[in-house]
A and B are shown apart, each in its own frame.
Chain A
């Protein structure tokens, strides 16, 4: 008999694909996205030139597709399955921008606030992405939302810290406007200096989305000099903000930027546009430990910025009180860059220094006797699921909650806080989160025909067109990335492997003919005699022994003829559907996984 294993012993427990978390994990991009944007679905919509629908699908989860299509940190891209196939992820972020650029008139699909309000008033502090998301989710439910903003324009960090050559103001204004135009009561030039006052102002809930507004100081000898507010040493985010609001229009020719995160990238490229000629980004550690996104490093270097590694700042050098340079330790690191050795000291001359070594939260305006509990580092204690503080009516999100993250995290915090605020106002426990659900729909259209394009396309990642270098420095506000052409878009959408179209197995139908195993182009399937084995013991028995413990092995129910089990390595499957095409009994099917994400006041309804 072919049935193997120990007679009578049970095979490992079958995978429960009825749990939405299982297939969600397979859709790597959607799993990695803090807001769980349905990436494969919107990429297919772009492929069908349904840009407006693609935009609105994006907007459901990430609220600012046009902004994020230019500025997102893209946690989805390193996760993308395509990267495991040919080394380069699908250009998800740039495709998002395509949907936004070509969306046309989407007014009918945008949220609207009802004329009759529900009588609940919510205060949001700061008009950044998290507060705006709270307003976006609560306004359509009849809430009256008031936003207090210290600047004269909305957008928070999206306006003050992201230079206009990456995010043009009209793009920002339009998407922020959609939310404010629902009737948000926005108070500009209104810094909040007392939470006590705010709590006494008759709001049903207060959401703090004030960001992480304090750039870290570098307290080295020579910092203060004769003038503690040395006009040639700048705090990165403050300096960027001054540019955004037109207070700063020039910088010296030789600029040193300390730090190598994304703020440093924005600072060096802005310096280049304000008159800097010799610009160096100074990094303490080797390149592979940089925080900046690789594409931002590339763009900076293309613009002539020099990136200097293994230099740790020692002191500011002054002559007659005037800043003339910075002294660095040149260091050598061990393999993991945990320990360093100083080799020598060098002084690099400069006219200006920009400090871009991180941001901190600061809550000087929150009175400590209100009962709002503070934890380590003088930061308020925030529940990471509900965004609620120890004061039941106070919620915190965005960078204000857990320190500087990014826009897409701020959006997700806003969504979760909106659910909590809605619960709080309806006297429902904020811990009662609406469940994630899913729809699974067969994609079979006929014999070997699917309602998605399952052909593997060997196209490589499409390059972005950039504004030519000579044009970039003429005006501060010229957008550098020009977006994808129609041809590049058409090729790039074909690179998506449709990970949301799941290879779904129905064990009772299987006759163990091996057709799926023979056709699989990545050898991800095996029928295993697994009686008496633990899941961990299956590895060596598979067609391709698994190498990625982050990804699940699908294990079927015992097969009817031999009691063996079908095992699929989700890490390898490229969702080409060939197993389902060759299956004579339709035991394999390609089913679209549609995650239904709940938002405030709306139980999860599958999006597409």
Chain B
């Protein structure tokens, strides 16, 4: 009995598992709605998304459950030792994508094996986290933390840049989100954080000056302010110079990177700054998503009765904008349930990361939590208009087999880690 139970159920934190199950069921319920004709005073309306989407997601959820159970029970020691293997496999698959992958809506992201399409980028994300956890765990108590940091940067940059070239900007950012979380855990001096923050601030202000306001003074004012602050603080001269250099360089890099972006990417960012001008072009998706969520109100328009969803005003409602359907049909309350399930899962993951003893498990947990948090926060920010539109799915909810399987496996690893924290 015991052996069978081990094979069929995950171990570890029950609450995280229930959150996973709740989100999967929520996803299936919403995908059922997305693939049903709208209920209301309408002639038979084509939902626009085939029912097969629901059945495929159901199948992948079952596969994902298996992945979750396996990941929760796999000995983490072996995973640590074999960590370069999945990284190398995923790198190989990423290399195959530009050669064999079909072009789907302007990008090569998939590898097709008969009836199954896989996104190697999803595998690359999890394997990159595992490899970084292994690497940082080995470097955490040594005297060469900078070397470990630089090496992990390189190991992350390789798959991230390959994904960015597909092109898939959103997914490539996920690599960096997980890396930043793990490096933070690894231990960065406070001054690193401040330098990084000043670089980000400089880039944002430069972008505003250059592209939105078409005036030089905001960035100039920022630099003057920074010089003033650096004059007053009592830091070492190299630290001050580094900070100034990072600010100036990141500011100068913005126009270069901006001009390197694709036209549609530029439009989406501009649409976020000026939604009214782009209401029917680049801003359309973001606007329709806000309309869907906003029209839902406190309790929603009712399951199966959302007009933004049912009459196809909401784009990508089965994938990136599935959260908008939750907002429209189930309202603030339904959206809050989804947010809460993610919140509990992520926050408990952070707690487990702090509670386990082995460095590898700590970094693994932090990487997974960073990955999940980035996905959830960015996706929901996009659907609610806090960020420009970019292709980031909502983990466990958005339709897509690779993402569901990989995310379930990551949750399984988190469960695996949590079982160690109970041991402790």
**Do chains A and B interact in one complex?**
no
Contact residues of A with B, CB < 8 Å? none
